[in-house]
């Protein structure tokens, strides 16, 4: 513990102990105080949301002690800091998570119940910050939790989108989007820091000049500037004093710029500029795994990167450190290429603003940056038209050209007379219209490049980044993804967590490997019965919700067969549908057939412009409409599409699942993280050898995993051979039946055209090889059905899945990033106990 300074003592006596106490009576008093004085409502007029706000503020008060102490301690000791740069942070609701990590979940629940309030209703009031599309954004959120829990100094830097990922409604079975107005009723978790605002330049031109030491210099003369205002959210570690920061930038107009126009008498022009500036942080682009290629998107990327780097220089200076020490103070991780503009921006700041020479600036840049790749899909590899890039960031384009010249010299030395290689590796694509290639830029500018699962990291080296691997083999490594057990077990599955803790204590929450100690209990009939009872009760709860919200009755004893994730052809939700239609046909042809009763649950958003994905949603809902109402099926099949998949809803789904669908075409899903959340909660996986499925299967045991389908090399080989999907349709009668039934209009009120685009693509192109994997999938699902009918053996497998998932904690991933990439150590924060000193 740090020795308290006189100021500490002075502050501590001024601190209000009412704002730190965590006993039940103090919590109740603080709650009623906040309701009255912060929320400004008497009890008689308060809504559930007012109660939520009063509660959130008392929790925030109790975090500030740690947050301030952490900031003070890092500053004092100039701690080496990880900066995680990400265009997305899919945090999910904060309240429950903060209560868990602070260790006050139970007293707070009790205090609320004693006041006659329903605690779960209060938790449900929070509008989740959905500032991400899916896996990549949620991974960033899990990593912040682990960084704080491992006591690693770190800042998450991103954009405070006014509108996060759209909300999804279903109308007539089709997706319709609504804007996500998450800030409508205020955000109690953030603190705005206007004093640390920074200015960001855009557009204009560059000019050269000689400085007072007669050195040749470049100056960027922008044609507009915007203000970046930081909004900070504390990120509490689990049962430690560390509270790190998520710093999100909001774009605002710079007053002086407004006034310039205003003074010319152009009032509307001034307001227009204000609107244009604020547009930068207005809305999250909803395209998962596909680049938009829009100028505003590049503006967003540059905006948050420039703000963040300028912030780092401010911190460096504030701690009395030299610009030359930048890479000693900070390790920057690029979450995919969205922040890759950090390379030329850091170079510009070092060269133009801080006067370093090229070689030192480049050394610092390379020693600071590391790059994580999240996808092999070509449509997700970012590239910007050179013309657009040069108009918005003229100085950066110059710097990129210079990086490229020097880099291509290196390539020429290592691979003489290899023009094709040079053209592939250039930072500029010149094969047609000219583009800046962001992945190439990230590879050249980083000291380390990683994939997110073992298979993915290997495929990166063999395919999209092969040339870079041949040039820089030492830069490449793997960091298999992980997820935080605090949110994905303790918070979302309290009953299962309590059962585990009752047997092995609670150390597993921080050391997930220790779940292994439960393994012998898989053979204990009593333990299995308890496990099963918990699964049943969680399934009953979800069934109740489905009934209340969608009017559909599902049997909690049926097999809950679940596929929840973004809707994408490579993830193959339509393969799942083909299985459902096959079962449906079999039951219709033989109504006395007994199958394992199943409830198929789907959830997920489609990118608004991705028509095929939207048609896939319509297909699921259309099949559900027929299946759910058909008395012939004797309730053996139900198909539900749960709208608006988000963190909040997913927390109710994973714990209630029996079967986890991880059925992407092998070689296409970089890792997957939902696969981990399911398995931790005791769902068995049906899956391909794709992404992290491979490692999950190794961990839980092949005998506890339902494997099917082509392997990644087989997918490549079959494609090279000239894959003919139509021949599979002709050769497999059940497949033909299923496709013909959909094509007949059976699920679309006789409209045989509705699903034609989807079916034609399967029959004549099938880039994701559903038809090749169909029979293996059907056969494997039959094995699943039989396995589920032996409840005891199923439960045994479920337990083994869960307790063997130790290495998929994001704590393991982050520990590896820290030691192998960031070279940063934990820095425990000793808290001055203000309460004690204050007496
Ligand atoms: C979002 C926007 C663009 Cl322009 C491109 C990609 C994305 C995006 O959300 N990608 C994404 O989520 N990728 C996923 O990352 C996860 C975390 O590493 C992986 O588990 C998953 O396999 C991968 O698809």
Has 746 been annotated as catalytic?
Answer: no
Judged against a pLDDT cut of 70, whether residue 10 lies above it is answered with no
From 566, 574, 638, 796, active-site residue: 566
Q: How far is CA 649 from CA 90, 101, 538, 545, in A?
A: 13, 21, 14, 11
The pLDDT value recorded for residue 288 is 85
pLDDT band at 293 (very low <50, low <70, confident <90, very high): confident
282 is catalytic: no
| pLDDT reading at 473 higher than 80 | yes
Pocket test for ligand 1, best of 141, 287, 289, 608 (most atoms within 8 A of CB): 289
* pLDDT for 256: 64
**Which among 565, 579, 746, 761 is annotated as catalytic?**
565
Q: Which of 374, 665, 687 to mutate to test the pocket of ligand 1 (most atoms within 8 A of CB)?
A: 374
86 CA to centre of ligand 1 in angstroms = 12
Identify the pLDDT of residue 289: 82
The rounded Å distance from CA 177 to ligand 1 centre is: 21
Residue 565 annotated among the catalytic residues of the structure: yes
Of these residues, 60, 80, 250, 374, which one is catalytic? 374
User: Mind listing the pLDDT tens digit for each residue in 654-702?
Assistant: 999 999 999 999 999 999 999 999 999 999 999 999 999 999 999 999 9
Model confidence over 359-418: pLDDT tens digits?
999 999 999 999 999 999 988 899 999 999 999 999 999 999 999 999 999 999 999 999
Name the active-site residue from 673, 685, 688, 795.
673
8-state DSSP, 163: B
Decide: residue 407, CB within 10 A, 0-12 exposed, 13-18 middle, 19+ buried. buried
Contact between 810 and 84 under an 8 Å Cβ cutoff? The reply is no
Q: Residue 6's pLDDT band (boundaries 50, 70, 90)?
A: low
Query: Which of 248-262, 427-441, 490-504, 741-755 shows the lowest per-residue confidence on average (mean pLDDT)?
Result: 248-262
pLDDT digits (tens, 9 = 90+) for 534-544: 999 999 999 99
Q: What is the pLDDT of residues 43-98, one digit of tens each?
A: 999 999 999 999 999 999 999 999 999 999 999 999 999 999 999 999 999 999 99
- Helix (H) and strand (E) counts for the chain? 35, 25
Closest to 128 measured CA to CA, from 97, 89, 86, 91: 91
Residue to mutate, 130, 136, 464, 677, ligand 1, most ligand atoms under 8 Å from C-beta: 136
Burial of residue 212 (number of CB atoms within 10 Å: 0-12, 13-18, 19+): exposed
Single out the residue of 250, 288, 293 nearest to residue 163, CA to CA. Answer: 250
Q: How far apart are CA 221 and CA 206, in angstroms?
A: 6
* pLDDT above 70: residue 836: no
Tell me if residue 732 is catalytic. no
CA distance linking residue 402 with residue 375, whole number of Å: 28
Average pLDDT for 602-631: 98
Q: What mean pLDDT value characterizes the chain?
A: 96
**CA distances from residue 357 to 207, 290, 291 in whole angstroms, order as listed:** 18, 37, 34
User: Is 832's pLDDT higher than 70?
Assistant: no
Whether residue 177 has pLDDT greater than 50: yes
Does residue 273 register a pLDDT over 90? no
Q: Where are the beta strands (DSSP E) in 92-152?
A: 130-131
Other beta carbons less than 10 A from residue 413's beta carbon: 8
Would you put residue 24 in left (φ > 0), alpha (ψ -120 to 50) or beta?
alpha
Neighbours of 214 (CB within 10 A): 6
What secondary structure letter does DSSP report for 452?
A: S
Q: Where in the chain is the domain with CATH 3.40.50.2000?
A: 78-92+128-478, 559-805
In angstroms, the CA 41 to CA 32 distance is 10
The answer on pLDDT for 451 being more than 80 is yes
Evaluated on CA atoms 233, 236, 241, 242, the torsion sign reads negative
Q: Is the pLDDT of residue 9 over 90?
A: no
Residue 566 annotated in active site = yes
What is the distance between the alpha carbons of residues 299 and 321, in angstroms, rounded to a whole number? 30
pLDDT of residue 1: 46
Confidence at residue 258, expressed as pLDDT on a 0 to 100 scale: 60
Would residue 677 show up in a list of annotated catalytic residues for this protein? yes
Q: Which residues approach ligand 1 with their CB closer than 6 A? A: 133-136, 139, 287-289, 291, 374-375, 380, 452, 481, 669-673, 691
* pLDDT at residue number 839: 28
Distance from Cα 564 to the centre of ligand 1, integer Å? 15
Alpha-helix runs per DSSP H in 319-416? 326-329, 342-348, 358-368, 386-392, 394-414
Cα dihedral 420, 425, 429, 432 in deg (nearest 10): 10
Taking residues 335-356, what's their average pLDDT?
98
β pairing state of 243-253 and 154-159: parallel
The CATH superfamily holding the domain 559-805 is Glycogen Phosphorylase B; (3.40.50.2000)
Which string of DSSP letters, residue by residue, matches 595-658?
Answer: ---EEEEEE----TT-HHHHHHHHHHHHHHHHHHH-GGGTT-EEEEEESS--HHHHHHHGGG-S
Q: Is the pLDDT of residue 838 over 60?
A: no
Q: Which of 620, 655, 674 is nearest to 543 (CA)?
A: 655
What CATH number does the domain located at 78-92+128-478 have?
3.40.50.2000
> What is the model's pLDDT at position 2?
54
Q: How far is the CA of 135 from the centre of ligand 1 (A)?
A: 5
User: Which residue CA neighbors atom 2 of ligand 1 most closely?
Assistant: 288
* The pLDDT of residue 276: 86
CA pseudo-torsion sign 256, 257, 258, 259: positive
Smallest CA-to-CA distance from 531 within 796, 806, 801 is with 796
């Amino acid at each position: 513990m740090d020795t308290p300074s006189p100021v500490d003592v002075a502050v501590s006596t001024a601190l209000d102990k009412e704002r730190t106490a965590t006993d039940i009576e103090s919590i109740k008093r603080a709650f009623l105080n906040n309701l009255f004085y912060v929320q400004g409502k008497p009890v008689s007029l308060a809504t559930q949301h007012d109660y939520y706000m009063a509660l959130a503020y008392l929790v925030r008060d109790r975090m500030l002690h740690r947050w301030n102490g952490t900031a003070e301690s890092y500053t004092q000791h100039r701690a080496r800091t990880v900066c995680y740069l990400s265009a997305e942070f899919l945090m999910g609701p904060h309240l429950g998570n903060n209560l868990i990590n602070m260790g006050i979940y139970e007293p707070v629940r009790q205090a609320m119940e004693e006041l006659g309030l329903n605690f779960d209703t209060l938790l449900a009031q929070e509008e989740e910050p959905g500032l991400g599309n899916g896996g990549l954004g949620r991974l960033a959120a899990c990593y912040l939790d682990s960084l704080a829990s491992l006591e690693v100094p770190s800042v998450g830097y991103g954009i405070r989108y006014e509108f996060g990922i759209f909300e999804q409604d279903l109308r007539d079975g089709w997706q319709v989007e609504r804007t996500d107005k998450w800030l409508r009723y205020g955000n109690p978790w953030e603190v705005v820091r206007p004093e640390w605002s920074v200015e960001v330049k855009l557009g204009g031109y560059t000019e050269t000049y000689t400085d007072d030491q007669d050195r040749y210099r470049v100056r960027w003369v922008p044609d507009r500037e915007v203000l970046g205002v930081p909004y900070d959210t504390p990120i509490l570690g689990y049962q430690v004093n560390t509270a790190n920061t998520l710093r999100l930038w909001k774009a605002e107009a710079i007053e002086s710029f407004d006034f310039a126009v205003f003074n010319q008498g152009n009032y509307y022009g001034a307001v227009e500029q204000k609107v244009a500036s604020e547009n930068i942080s207005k809305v999250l682009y909803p395209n998962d795994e596909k680049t938009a290629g829009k100028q505003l998107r590049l503006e967003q990327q540059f905006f948050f990167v420039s703000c963040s780097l300028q912030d780092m220089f401010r911190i460096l200076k504030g701690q009395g450190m030299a610009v030359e020490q930048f890479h000693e103070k900070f390790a920057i991780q690029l979450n995919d290429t969205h922040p890759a503009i950090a390379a030329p921006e850091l170079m510009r700041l070092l060269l133009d603003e801080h006067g370093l020479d090229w070689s030192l600036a480049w050394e610092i840049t390379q020693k600071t940056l590391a790059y994580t790749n999240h996808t092999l899909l070509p449509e997700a590899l970012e590239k910007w038209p050179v013309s657009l890039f040069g108009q918005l960031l003229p100085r950066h384009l110059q710097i990129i050209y210079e990086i490229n010249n020097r880099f291509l010299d290196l390539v020429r030395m290592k691979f003489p007379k290899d023009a094709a290689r040079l053209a592939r590796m250039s930072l500029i694509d010149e094969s047609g219209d000219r583009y800046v290639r962001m992945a190439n830029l990230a590879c050249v500018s980083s000291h380390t490049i990683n994939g997110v699962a073992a298979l993915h990291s290997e495929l990166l080296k063999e395919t999209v980044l092969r040339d870079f691997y041949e040039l820089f083999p030492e830069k490449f490594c793997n960091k298999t993804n992980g997820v935080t057990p605090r949110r994905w077990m303790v918070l979302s599955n309290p009953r299962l967590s309590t059962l585990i803790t009752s047997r092995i204590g609670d150390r597993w929450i921080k050391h997930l490997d220790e779940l292994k100690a439960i393994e012998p209990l898989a053979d204990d009939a009593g333990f299995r019965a308890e496990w099963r009872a918990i699964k049943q009760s969680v399934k009953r709860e979800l069934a109740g919700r489905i009934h209340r919200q969608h009017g559909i009755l599902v049997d909690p004893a049926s097999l809950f067969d679940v596929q929840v994730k973004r809707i994408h052809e490579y993830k193959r939700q339509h393969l799942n549908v083909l299985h459902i239609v096959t079962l449906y046909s079999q039951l219709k042809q033989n109504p006395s057939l007994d199958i394992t009763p199943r409830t198929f649950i789907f959830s997920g958003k489609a990118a608004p412009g991705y028509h095929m994905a939207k048609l896939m949603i319509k297909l699921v809902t259309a099949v559900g409409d027929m299946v759910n109402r058909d008395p012939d099926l004797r309730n053996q099949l139900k198909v539900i599409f749960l709208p608006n998949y988000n963190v909040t809803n997913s927390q109710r789904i994973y714990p209630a699942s029996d079967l986890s669908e991880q059925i992407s075409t092998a070689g296409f899903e970089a890792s997957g993280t939902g696969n981990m959340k399911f398995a931790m909660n005791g769902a068995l996986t049906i899956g391909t050898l794709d992404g992290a499925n491979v490692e999950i299967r190794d961990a839980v045991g092949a005998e506890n995993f339902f494997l099917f389908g082509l392997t990644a090399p087989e997918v490549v080989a079959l494609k090279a051979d000239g894959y003919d999907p139509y021949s599979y349709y002709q050769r497999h009668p059940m497949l033909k039946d299923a496709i013909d039934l959909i094509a007949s209009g059976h699920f679309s009120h006789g409209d045989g055209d509705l699903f034609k685009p989807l079916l034609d693509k399967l029959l004549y192109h099938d880039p994701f090889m559903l038809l090749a994997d169909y029979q293996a999938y059907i056969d494997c699902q039959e094995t699943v059905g039989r396995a589920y009918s032996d409840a005891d053996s199923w439960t045994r497998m479920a337990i083994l899945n869960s307790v063997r998932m130790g290495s998929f904690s994001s704590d393991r991933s982050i520990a590896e990033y820290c030691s192998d990439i960031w070279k940063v150590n934990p820095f425990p924060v000793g808290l001055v106990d203000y309460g004690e000193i204050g007496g």
